[in-house]
């Protein structure tokens, strides 16, 4: 029995030494990057902007509810449930989690069971194993039941680095899903607000057509009485026809927005329609926080940072190939030539061994793999900086753009009121014979242009507010009904 006991002790001693070596892992340890040194401490603000105090603990996913539009809320829910692009991103998250589970399984022993039942004949002409004993042909049964296990000793941390990389990749997939969700909701809100702005613009044109038709009737009646020339009638008719053509252009544009919304919510475009709605919408207040908040809130920044972590771990995986691969291979089983004696003590067999392999020469393949991983990590670092800079640009563009549009909208409202007064005065002067009809036509065209411009500016306000919300990584204030009425 002594020889049978001595061998396992040696093996266990070897395993203990390997366990001590496995306390370290090759490759650089990852640390989350600090904010870039050139990151600004505040935005370039214009009145009425101010820096808000974000509440990151609040839910920021349903940011569109701050606009107070129930139809938009319904479209958002439909898009989140049925959009194909979001479904793809969700499936990729599931794939990444499954890959993490598969990679993590390497940390544990792999155990298998095998069974064999055979009747076999051994050749009498097989090669000799002993010159003193002649070979004989033998026919016999072989019944075996074995339990086999294998376990890779993580000598230099290859498995741990692989799990670290898979974990970061899974987190990156989740961040990519959140980014896809944010982009989807932003695209849907932008298309919806553009459609609403087109409805308002169509209403402006329709009202202008009614006004121009009444003016045509008036000038035609005066022409019939011989008070004016046919030129006035022809000029008013030309203006009316030109305005009528704008209706078809706007309807086509509205159809494009409606079809885009249909695709985003997962509905075939021919089976989808939205009724016109000209009720006014005002962009909600958007608190800004500080630039460094983007590093924590934007999902694309989070995804870029997780990609860095995964690439850093891959350096360790590639470096581990320089070191021996050590595996523990225990086996225990039963083997007999008769079924009745398979479970006898004399039928027991076992083995306990360690397998180790070490590359001696590979022509530089391993070194090239390490260099490849290092270059991949440097690429993720550069991409992280690119994403951060793009986030800064988008947020600053949204801030300055929305401030400019606020001022332009206020000026446009004043211009609309002035244009209406000009039209009223021109019409009164024409009817009193103090002005020619060209003044009326000019005032009608000016009012139409200014009212359309006002409708377009309000649509741009809504679109830019959506763009800024997306640039900030979502809403700061959560989704409760009073959020739009208070500062965060």
Give per-residue pLDDT as tens, 389-400. Answer: 898 888 888 888
Least confident of 172-176, 272-276, 354-358, 440-444: 440-444
488 has a pLDDT exceeding 60: no
What confidence score (pLDDT) does residue 59 get?
A: 47
Q: What length is written for the chain?
A: 488
Q: What is the mean pLDDT of residues 86-102?
A: 94
Give per-residue pLDDT as tens, 21-80. Answer: 555 688 888 888 776 666 665 666 555 544 444 443 344 568 898 888 999 999 999 999
Give per-residue pLDDT as tens, 60-75. Answer: 568 898 888 999 999 9
CATH topology (fold) of 110-153+324-357 = Outer membrane efflux proteins (OEP) (2.20.200)
Residue 278: its H or E element: none
What confidence score (pLDDT) does residue 155 get?
A: 84
Q: Identify the CATH homologous superfamily for domain 27-108+154-323+363-485.
A: Outer membrane efflux proteins (OEP) (1.20.1600.10)
In terms of Cβ atoms closer than 10 Å to its own Cβ (0-12, 13-18, 19+), residue 92 is middle
DSSP 8-state symbol, 144: E
* SS3 (DSSP) at 219: helix
Crossing angle between the packed helical segments 365-431 and 299-319, to the nearest 10 degrees: 170
What confidence score (pLDDT) does residue 173 get?
A: 94
Give per-residue pLDDT as tens, 213-245. Answer: 887 887 788 788 777 778 878 888 888 888 888
What confidence score (pLDDT) does residue 4 get?
A: 41
Confidence of residue 16 (pLDDT cuts 50, 70, 90): low
What confidence score (pLDDT) does residue 61 get?
A: 67
Answer with the residue of higher pLDDT: 136 or 371.
371
Give per-residue pLDDT as tens, 404-418. Answer: 888 888 888 899 889
Residue 131: its H or E element: none
Confidence of residue 290 (pLDDT cuts 50, 70, 90): low
Across all residues in the chain, what is the average pLDDT?
Answer: 83
Give CA–CA dist 392/298, Å, rounded: 11
What confidence score (pLDDT) does residue 51 get?
A: 47
Sheet holding 348-357, edge to edge: 110-122, 138-153, 325-336, 348-357
Give CA–CA dist 387/391, Å, rounded: 6
Q: What is the DSSP code string of 336-390?
A: ESSGGGTTSGGGEEEEEEEEEE-----TTHHHHHHHHHHHHHHHHHHHHHHHHHH
* SS3 (DSSP) at 158: helix
> What spatial distance separates the first Cα and last Cα of the chain, rounded to whole Å?
78
CB 169, CB 306: distance < 8 Å: yes
Give CA–CA dist 465/162, Å, rounded: 42
Max mean pLDDT range (16-20, 294-298, 441-445, 451-455): 451-455
* Sequence spans of domains, the chain: 27-108+154-323+363-485, 110-153+324-357
Give CA–CA dist 189/284, Å, rounded: 13
Confidence of residue 481 (pLDDT cuts 50, 70, 90): very low
What confidence score (pLDDT) does residue 1 get?
A: 38
Give per-residue pLDDT as tens, 100-154. Answer: 999 999 889 999 999 989 999 989 888 888 888 888 899 999 889 999 999 888 8
329 has a pLDDT exceeding 50: yes
Answer with the residue of higher pLDDT: 127 or 5.
127
Q: Is it true that the peptide bond before 296 is cis, omega within 30 degrees of 0? A: no
Give CA–CA dist 194/254, Å, rounded: 8
């Amino acid at each position: 029995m002594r020889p049978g006991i001595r061998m396992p002790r040696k093996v266990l001693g070897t395993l203990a030494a390997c366990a001590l070596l496995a306390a370290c892992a090759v490759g650089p340890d990852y640390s989350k990057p600090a904010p870039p040194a050139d990151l600004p401490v505040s935005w370039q603000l214009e009145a009425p902007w101010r820096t808000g105090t974000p509440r990151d603990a609040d839910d920021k996913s349903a940011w569109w509810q701050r606009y107070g539009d129930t139809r938009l809320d319904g479209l958002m829910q439909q898009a989140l449930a049925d959009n194909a692009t979001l479904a793809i991103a969700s499936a990729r998250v599931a794939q990444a989690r499954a890959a993490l589970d598969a990679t993590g399984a390497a940390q544990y022993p792999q155990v298998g069971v095998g069974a064999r039942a055979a009747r076999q004949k051994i050749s009498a002409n097989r090669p000799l194993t002993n010159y003193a004993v002649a070979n004989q042909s033998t026919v016999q049964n072989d019944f075996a039941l074995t339990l086999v296990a294998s376990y890779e000793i993580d000598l230099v941390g290859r498995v741990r680095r692989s799990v670290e990389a898979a974990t970061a990749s899974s987190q990156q997939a989740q961040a990519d899903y959140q980014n896809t969700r944010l982009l989807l909701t932003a695209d849907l809100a932008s298309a919806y607000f553009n459609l609403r702005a087109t409805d308002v613009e169509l209403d402006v044109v329709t009202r202008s057509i009614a006004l121009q038709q009444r003016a045509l009737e008036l000038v035609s009646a005066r022409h019939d009485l011989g008070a004016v020339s046919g030129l006035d009638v022809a000029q008013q008719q030309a203006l009316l026809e030109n305005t009528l053509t704008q209706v078809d252009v706007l309807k086509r544009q509205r159809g494009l927005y409606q079809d885009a919304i249909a695709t985003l919510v997962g509905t075939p475009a021919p089976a989808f329609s939205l009724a016109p709605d000209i009720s006014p919408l005002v962009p909600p207040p958007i608190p800004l926080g500080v630039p460094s908040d983007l590093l924590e809130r934007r999902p694309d920044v989070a995804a870029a940072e997780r990609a860095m972590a995964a690439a850093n771990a891959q350096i360790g995986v590639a470096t581990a190939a320089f070191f021996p691969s050590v595996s523990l291979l225990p086996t225990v089983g039963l083997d007999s030539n008769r079924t009745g004696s398979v479970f006898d003590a004399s039928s027991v067999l076992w083995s306990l061994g360690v397998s180790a392999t070490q590359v001696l020469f590979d022509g530089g393949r391993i070194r090239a793999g390490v260099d490849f991983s290092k270059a991949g990590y440097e690429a993720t670092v550069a991409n992280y900086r690119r994403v951060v800079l793009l986030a800064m640009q988008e947020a600053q563009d949204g801030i300055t753009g929305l401030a400019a549009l606020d001022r332009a909208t206020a000026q446009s409202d004043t211009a609309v009121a002035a244009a209406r007064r000009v039209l009223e005065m021109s019409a009164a002067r024409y009817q009193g014979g103090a002005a020619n009809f060209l003044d009326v036509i000019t005032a009608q065209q000016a009012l139409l242009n200014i009212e359309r411009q006002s409708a377009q500016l309000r649509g741009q306000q809504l679109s830019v507010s959506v763009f800024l919300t997306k640039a900030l990584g979502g809403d700061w204030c959560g989704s409760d009904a009073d959020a739009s009425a208070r500062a965060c």
